[in-house]
C-alpha cells in the first residue's frame, strides 16, 4: 500500500510478563472487583495528551468501548497495560511499562492504546510491523506519525464523538473526554473483521488502489 492509495467509506454506524491466560481466565479477571490503583499520579503512563503540572497522565479505555467492540472479543496481547486488574482490555497477555512493550516480541492479535507523547509514532510503527493489530489513537490526521501509519493500514475507523477515558484509574468514576476525536488504525483481516461486526459508532474507511491510467 502506498501513500497514493485513495480511501473510501465502507461502513458507518451510530498477567505478569510472559504469562498467557486462557479465555476463561481473562473473562474471570474482568468480572472480579477491580484492584485499587495504588498510585494517584505517575511520571510516565498511558496518556492521550501531555498533562499539566501535578496532573496524572494515565487515561484508560472505558469498559463500554469493549462492550461495543464485542464482548466475545479477546486479544492475545495488550503491550501498553497498567497491569492485570487495572484495565478493561480483555487480553490473554500484557506488558506493562516495566516490561517495555516496545522491546518485546508481539504475538497474535494486539490491542494498543499507546502513550500519546513523543513515542506514539514508535508504537504505531510497531503495530504496522507486527500486523494483526488495532491502535486506539487520537485522529491527529495532520501529524507525520499518523500519515505514516495510515499509509500501511488496512483500515481506519473514526469513532463518533469523543471517547470518555478514565482518568488515572479505571476505578475513577470521573471520565474525561479526549482532547480530540479518536480512531482505530487497523492492520490485518482479523482486526478489520472485528470492527466491521462491532457496535462501535463511527465510520470505517479502507484504502483503494488508484485506477490505472486510461481507465
- Assess if residue 1 is contained within a domain: no
How far apart (Å, rounded) are the C-alpha atoms in residues 128 and 117?
18
Range of the domain at 178: 6-208
Q: 15-68, pLDDT tens digit by residue?
A: 455 567 777 777 776 766 554 444 433 333 334 444 444 444 566 788 899 999
- Assess if residue 134 is contained within a domain: yes
Helix boundaries (H) for 54-213: 63-70, 120-130, 144-150, 189-196
Coil/strand/helix, residue 6:
strand
Which segments of the chain have a pLDDT < 50?
Answer: 1-4, 15, 35-56
How far apart (Å, rounded) are the C-alpha atoms in residues 124 and 117?
12
How far apart (Å, rounded) are the C-alpha atoms in residues 92 and 138?
25
How far apart (Å, rounded) are the C-alpha atoms in residues 7 and 160?
18
Give, in order, the Cα–Cα distances in Å from 143 to each of 52, 157, 177, 183, 201: 22, 17, 21, 14, 24
Task: Work out the angle at residue 120's Cα, subtended by the Cα atoms of residues 140 and 45, and round it to the nearest 5 degrees.
Answer: 115
Instruction: Decide if 79 contacts 95 (C-beta within 8 A).
Output: yes
Task: Centre a 10 Å sphere on the Cβ of residue 177 and count the other Cβ atoms it contains.
Answer: 13
Helix boundaries (H) for the chain: 23-31, 63-70, 120-130, 144-150, 189-196
- Assess if residue 125 is contained within a domain: yes
Instruction: Decide if 158 contacts 178 (C-beta within 8 A).
Output: no
- Assess if residue 157 is contained within a domain: yes
- Assess if residue 164 is contained within a domain: yes
Report the number of distinct structural domains present in the chain: 1
Instruction: Decide if 203 contacts 157 (C-beta within 8 A).
Output: yes
- Assess if residue 213 is contained within a domain: no
Amino acid at each position: 500500500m502506498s501513500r497514493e492509495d485513495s480511501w473510501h467509506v465502507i461502513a458507518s454506524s451510530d498477567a505478569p510478563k510472559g504469562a498467557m491466560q486462557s479465555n476463561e481466565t481473562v473473562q474471570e479477571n474482568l468480572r472480579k472487583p477491580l484492584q485499587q490503583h495504588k498510585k494517584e499520579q505517575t511520571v510516565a503512563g498511558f496518556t492521550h495528551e501531555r498533562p499539566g503540572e501535578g496532573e496524572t497522565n494515565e487515561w484508560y479505555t472505558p469498559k463500554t468501548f469493549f462492550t461495543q467492540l464485542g464482548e466475545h472479543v479477546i486479544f492475545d496481547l495488550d503491550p501498553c497495560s497498567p497491569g492485570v486488574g487495572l484495565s478493561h482490555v480483555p487480553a490473554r497477555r500484557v506488558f506493562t511499562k516495566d516490561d517495555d512493550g516496545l522491546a518485546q516480541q508481539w504475538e497474535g492479535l494486539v490491542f494498543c492504546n499507546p502513550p500519546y507523547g513523543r513515542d506514539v509514532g514508535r508504537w504505531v510503527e510497531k503495530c504496522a510491523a507486527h500486523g494483526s493489530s488495532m491502535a486506539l489513537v487520537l485522529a491527529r490526521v495532520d501529524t507525520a506519525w499518523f500519515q505514516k501509519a495510515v499509509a500501511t493500514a488496512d483500515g481506519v475507523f473514526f469513532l463518533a464523538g469523543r471517547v470518555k477515558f478514565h482518568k488515572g484509574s479505571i476505578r475513577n468514576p470521573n471520565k474525561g473526554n479526549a482532547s480530540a476525536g479518536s480512531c482505530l488504525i487497523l492492520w490485518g483481516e482479523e482486526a478489520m473483521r472485528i470492527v466491521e461486526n462491532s457496535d462501535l459508532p463511527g465510520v470505517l474507511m479502507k484504502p483503494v488502489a488508484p485506477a490505472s491510467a486510461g481507465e
